[in-house]
Amino acid sequence: MNRLRLDILPQPTDTTCGPTCLQAVYRYFGENCSLDHVIKEVGQLEQGGTLAVFLGCHALRKGYDVTLYTYDLQVFDPTWFRLDRDVDLEEKLIAQMQIKDRPRLHTATVAYIEFLRLGGKLRMEVLTIDLIRRYLKRDIPVLTGLSATFLYGEMREYCPDNPPPGRTTLADDVRGFPAGHFVVLCGYDPDRRTVLVADPLEANPFAKDRQYAVDIDRVFSAIMLGIVTYDANLLLVRPKNHQKGVERHARTDRDR
């Protein structure tokens, strides 16, 4: 297993996995910042939780270089990323927001527009092990939003009127809905075709600690199924002076 030395704290609540992953990446690059501070500063959705683009905006405001690979077809059209088209992503996002009135879409769109204006890079590329290895070989951890429901193979979740202390959802295979989650990919084994996952969820279904190896196909499926919860993305956060290796972009990459 080729692995990065990344430590991750347990998430304080069931909706703070995103900031917990981001704080782990900050600490990996040598920044000493408290988890409470990151949680307070990262934007949250009204119903709890966050979006990868919120995490990206936080890192951009702190001076990091940020690239977000999206597979979220609820927000982005694949043709916007074709190399043979000169597409203004901000213009397209605004036009879509004026036509579609879904609140979650509007929240995500406003955040993506801020992300672009802050200098973030948006890309869409076929999800392969080579894409993951491209960054891990350069010592860059891969923060990803995915479907926890599929990754863990557990029941869907619903929001009760009176949830137990410290929780906002309960497992229910009939009333429940798919749940999103954030983890950090920090290693890979090319022979066993597994990736090392740093998971902020304490007592997760895979391991007693917060790092475990998972079959790459299962992780990729969980990432793509994250589209249900506006996840389905990879977030690459690194200092601007990070010079490990030489980045090679596939033909489908496009900076905007």
Find the CATH number of the domain harbouring 134: 3.90.70.10
Confirm whether 111 is domain-assigned: yes
Confirm whether 138 is domain-assigned: yes
**Pairs from 169-176 (Cβ < 8 Å, separation ≥ 24):** 169/14
CA distances from 90 to 119, 128, 130, 191, 228 (A): 12, 27, 29, 41, 23
Query: Are 80 and 87 spatial neighbours (Cβ–Cβ below 8 Å)?
Result: yes
List the pLDDT tens digit at each of the 256 positions of the chain: 789 999 999 999 989 999 999 999 999 999 999 999 999 999 888 877 899 999 999 999 999 999 999 999 999 999 999 987 889 999 999 999 999 999 999 999 999 999 999 999 999 999 999 999 999 999 999 999 999 999 999 999 888 888 777 677 888 899 999 999 999 999 999 999 999 999 999 878 887 788 999 999 999 999 999 999 999 999 999 999 876 643 433 333 333 3
Burial class (CB in 10 A: 0-12, 13-18, 19+), 242: middle
- Compute φ and ψ for 148, nearest 5 degrees: -65, -35
CA distances from 256 to 76, 77, 119, 138, 214 (A): 13, 14, 9, 22, 33
What total number of domains does the chain contain?
1
Confirm whether 230 is domain-assigned: yes
Confirm whether 245 is domain-assigned: no
Write the single-letter amino acid at 228: V
The residue segments making up the domain with residue 95 are 15-239
With H, G, I as helix, E, B as strand and everything else as coil, classify residue 254.
Answer: coil
Confirm whether 200 is domain-assigned: yes
0.85 cut: is pTM over it? yes
Confirm whether 252 is domain-assigned: no
With H, G, I as helix, E, B as strand and everything else as coil, classify residue 65.
Answer: strand
Which pair of structure tokens corresponds to residue 1? 């297993």
Which segments of 36-189 are extended strands (E)? 65-70, 121-123, 142-147, 157-158, 170-171, 180-189
Confirm whether 114 is domain-assigned: yes
Nearest one of 83, 42, 48, 47 to 62, comparing CA atoms: 42
Query: Are 103 and 122 spatial neighbours (Cβ–Cβ below 8 Å)?
Result: no
Confirm whether 5 is domain-assigned: no
